[in-house]
Structures are given as structure tokens and as C-alpha cells.
Amino acid sequence: MVPLDYYLILSAALFVIGVAGVVIRRNIIVILMSVELMLNAVNLTFIAFSRSLGTMDGQVIVFFVMTVAAAEAVIGLAIVISVFRH
């Protein structure tokens, strides 16, 4: 079994890459992808702690975060398409 520390290090690295993408890039699509990467890093942290503690709480939270992330992606892409059409 992989130790919890490895999951947390991977999650922190993914989050930092996402923050760097948001701060450095100017392209709205890349920024949206970076925000999604940050959300997935947080999801990985929830799942890692959930598995480590033996509870299902983290997995339930991840389910709701994924739902919100999907809605955010749809709305963000709709705004991008609307802006590029005009």
C-alpha cells in the first residue's frame, strides 16, 4: 500500500502546477484547465485521507466536488464560446 505522504506530495505538486497555470498563462482555456487540475488535486487529498482513515466521507465530498467542477467546466466553456463568437 502506498503511504499517505506520497499521495499528499503528489496532490501538492498538482495543486502548485495548477496555481502556476492560473498565474502565468493568459489563455482562458488554459486557466480553466489549471483550475480543474487544482480541483483534482484537492479531490486526491480527500480520497487519500478517506482511505487512510477508513471512512467514506472523503469520497462523498469528492462526488459533490466533481459535480460542481463539471458544472463549472460547462459554464466556463460556454462563456468562452460566446466570447469568441462575438
Question: Taking the alpha carbons of 69, 72, 76, 78 in that order, is the dihedral positive or negative?
Answer: positive
Whole-model pTM? 0.86
pLDDT of residue 42: 95
**Architecture label for domain 4-85:** Orthogonal Bundle (1.10)
Residues 6+ apart with CB under 8 A from 40: 14, 69
> What are 11-23's pLDDT values in tens digits?
999 999 999 999 9
Over 80: is that where the pLDDT of 86 sits?
A: no
In three-state secondary structure terms, 55 is: coil
pLDDT of residue 28: 86
For the chain, the structural domain boundaries read: 4-85
Q: 33 exposed, middle or buried (CB, 10 Å; 0-12, 13-18, 19+)?
A: middle
